[in-house]
Amino acid sequence: MHRIAPVIVLLLIVLSVAEARAGEPFPDLVLEGWLPAFQREYLGVDDDPPSLSDIRTGYILIEIMNMYCSHCQLDAPTVNEVYQYLDNRGYSSRVKMVVIAAGNSQFEVDFFRNKYSVPMPIFTDQNYVAYRAVGGMGTPYFFLVRKHEDGRLESVFSKAGHIKDKDRFIKAVLVAAGYNG
Amino acid sequence: MKKIFSIVAGIAVLLAVSVFARQSAGVFQAESLKPRDSVLRVSVGEVAPDFSLPSIDGHLVTLSGYRGKKNVMLSFVPAAWAPVCSDQWAGYKPALGLFERYDTQLIGITVDNLPALSAWTEHMGGVGFPVLSDFWPHGAVAERYGVLRLDGTAERALFLIDKQGVIRFIDVYDINLRPDLADIVREMGKLPGK
């Protein structure tokens, strides 16, 4: 047993690192950048710039990406499909989706939006303020954030790296948002 | 008991590797560097110094070969496998249409040798533009343009050269930051005939 103990400890440490974010308070990020009117309507935001807690919803699915990241480029069509699924199946009344572009200017965000026909709101984070506030992890990185009635934000799900299995990802998000599998 | 030990150890190693890989993504994590560490030796309005360098596709690329045919954007980056550099060139790949719109050939240059450059760009899934090695004599072209740093790496610098071979734009960026694509497009828009 004494030989196996260090391995179990290592295993627990690794698992705790991988899941460290779920259940933690989430910062009320200020969302910078230009949005078309229909996307402001989708989020239900009036303030400029809005904060995460201004979004009229119970849950916010956030992708932290960067237009220069090749994994984010390759993942863009899949992320679009996740948004379409949530919107088409009526989940968007409870789960809104936003993208935060770490280190990207408005020009770069607009380029990425047009290049990949991104339907959901993309916010700029040119000086990496939001990126650092959520831990500065590699991109893409996904968070599902619960907005409590008192405005408090809580991370209930997170995922590092690109989406390998879209259906599994959507299911995990919906379960974390309180929908039964 | 040995079997259980092997299985648990295997799982632990796989998870550890997985977490490490996600955090590092195969790219060297550098500390913040002195923003700029060289003195420019060319200026806007001058004819760009000519050079020939080997590219990762096996050809020798000569700057003057583009004369009369294409504008050229030289993108010097400090080193292969460095985090900002890996971002910068990977980001140009989907934006190559913007360079084509302004009849401009993007060319990447580092002071790394060809095997290192080849492995790095392959890791990025290819970049879609010529990548040249200024390895030997070490950094000679970077030195001629005045963007060779004291530590032997190149600055993060852009040189826009028109079809007559004249330098139209130079920007030597803070090595720790990535140039904004908007700056590049704005300067290409000022080229003669545009």
* Residue B89 maps to a domain: yes
* Residue among B12, B95, B178 whose CB faces A10 most closely: B12
For chains A and B, count residue pairs whose Cβ atoms are closer than 8 Å.
73
Query: Which among B15, B16, B94 has the least Cβ separation from residue A73?
Result: B94
Q: How far is A123 from chain B (nearest CA, A)?
A: 16
- Between positions 11 and 50 of A, the ones with CB within 8 A of B are 11, 14-15, 17-18
**pLDDT tens readout for residues B44-81:** 999 999 999 999 999 999 999 999 999 999 999 999 98
Q: What is the pLDDT of residue A13?
A: 43
In whole angstroms, what is the distance from residue A70 CA to residue B123 CA? 10
* B114 or A7, higher pLDDT: B114
Cα distances (angstroms) measured from residue A7 to each of B5, B17, B170: 8, 14, 55
Which residue in chain A has the smallest CA separation from B17? A14
- Domain annotation covers residue B160: yes
pLDDT block averages, 10 residues each, chain A of length 181: 51 42 87 93 89 95 94 95 96 95 95 95 96 92 95 94 95 93 58
pLDDT for A1 equals 46
pLDDT at B141 over 60: yes
3-state helix, strand, coil in chain B (%, to 5): 35, 20, 45
Distance of alpha carbon B4 from its chain centroid, rounded? 48
Residue B28: which pLDDT band, with cuts at 50, 70 and 90? low
Q: In which element (H, E) is residue A99 found?
A: strand A95-102
Domain for residue B53, yes or no? Answer: yes
pLDDT for residue B152 is more than 80: yes
Q: List Cα–Cα distances, B97 to A118, B86, B92, B101, in angstroms.
A: 18, 20, 9, 6
For residue B97, pLDDT over 50 is answered with yes
| B44 within a domain of the structure (yes/no) | yes
Q: Which domain holds residue B78?
A: 36-188
CATH of the domain at A90: 3.40.30.10
Any idea what the CATH number is for the domain that residue B112 is in?
3.40.30.10
**Contact: B182, A107; criterion CB under 8 Å:** yes
Lowest mean pLDDT across A94-98, A115-119, B21-25, B133-137: B21-25
Q: Are A169 and A157 in contact (CB under 8 A)?
A: no
Chosen for mutation from A1, A2, A4, A7 (greatest number of chain B CBs closer than 10 Å) is: A7
Going edge to edge, which strands form the sheet with B71-76?
B131-133, B104-110, B71-76, B156-161, B167-173
DSSP structural state of residue B58: S
pLDDT at B20: 36
* Residue B111 structure tokens: 């002071």
B9 within some domain? no
Q: Are A70 and B182 a contacting pair at CB < 8 A?
A: no
pLDDT, position B176:
87
Q: A138 — contact with chain B (CB < 8 Å)?
A: yes
Best residue in A21, A106, A111, A113 for a mutation probing chain B (most B CBs within 10 Å): A111
Cβ contact (<8 Å) for A11 and B12?
yes
Segment B102-122 mean pLDDT: 96
Distance CA A105, CA A33 (A): 9
- Chain A residues with CB under 8 Å of B91 CB are 66-69, 108
Out of A82-86, A113-117, B4-8, B149-153, which region has the weakest mean confidence (pLDDT)? B4-8
As for how many domains chain A has, the answer is 1
pLDDT of residue B23: 39
- Locate the DSSP E strands across chain B: 52-54, 60-62, 71-76, 104-110, 131-133, 156-161, 167-173
Residues of B at the A interface, defined by Cβ within 8 angstroms: 1, 4-5, 8-9, 11-12, 15-16, 18-19, 22-25, 87-88, 90-91, 93-95, 98, 124-125, 178, 180-182, 185
Average pLDDT of B5-34?
A: 52
Query: Residue B4 class from Cβ within 10 Å (0-12 exposed, 13-18 middle, 19+ buried)?
Result: exposed
* Strand arrangement, sheet containing A141-147: A122-125, A95-102, A59-65, A141-147, A153-160
Quote the domain boundaries for residue A124.
5-176
Whole-angstrom distance, CA of residue B137 vs CA of residue A35 = 50
Helix (H) or strand (E) holding B145: helix B140-145
Query: Tell me, what's the pLDDT at A122?
Result: 97
Q: Is the pLDDT of residue B85 over 70?
A: no
B12 pLDDT tier (thresholds 50, 70, 90): very low
Which pair of tokens denotes residue B105?
């050939």
Domain presence at residue A181: no
Q: How far is B137 from chain A (nearest CA, A)?
A: 31
Measured between beta carbons, which residues in chain A are less than 8 angstroms from residue B5? Answer: 3-4, 7
The answer to whether the CB of B181 falls within 8 A of the CB of B62 is no
Q: What is the per-residue pLDDT for A47?
A: 72
> Is A111 an interface residue toward B (CB < 8 Å)?
yes
Q: How many other β-carbons are positioned within 10 Å of the β-carbon of residue B149?
A: 19
CA distance B144 to B84: 24
- What pLDDT is stored for residue A27 in this prediction? 96
Give the chain B residue nearest A18 (alpha carbons): B19
Secondary structure class of B68 (helix, strand, coil): coil
Alpha-carbon distance of A54 to A145, in angstroms, equals 13
Q: CA gyration radius for chain A?
A: 17
State residue B14's pLDDT score: 44
Task: Identify the band that residue B1 occupies on the pLDDT scale cut at 50, 70 and 90.
Answer: low
Report chain B's mean pLDDT, rounded to a whole number.
87
Cα separation, A31 vs A29, whole angstroms? 6
Which residue in A14, A103, A137 is closest to B12 by CB distance? A14
Residue A96 carries which side chain, given as an amino acid letter?
K
Does any domain span residue B43? yes
DSSP of A39-97: HHHHHT--SSS-BGGGSSSSEEEEEEE-TT-HHHHHHHHHHHHHHHHHHHTTGGGTEEE
Which residues of A are less than 8 Å from B1 in CB distance?
4
Catalytic positions of B, written as ranges: 85
Q: In whole angstroms, give the CA distance from residue A175 to residue A168.
A: 11
pLDDT band at B6 (very low <50, low <70, confident <90, very high): low
Contact B4 A4 (CB under 8 A): yes
ipTM value, please give it.
0.76
Task: Please state the domain count of chain B.
Answer: 1
Chain Cα centroid distance, residue B177 = 13
**Domain-embedded: residue B182:** yes
Output the pLDDT for position B11.
47
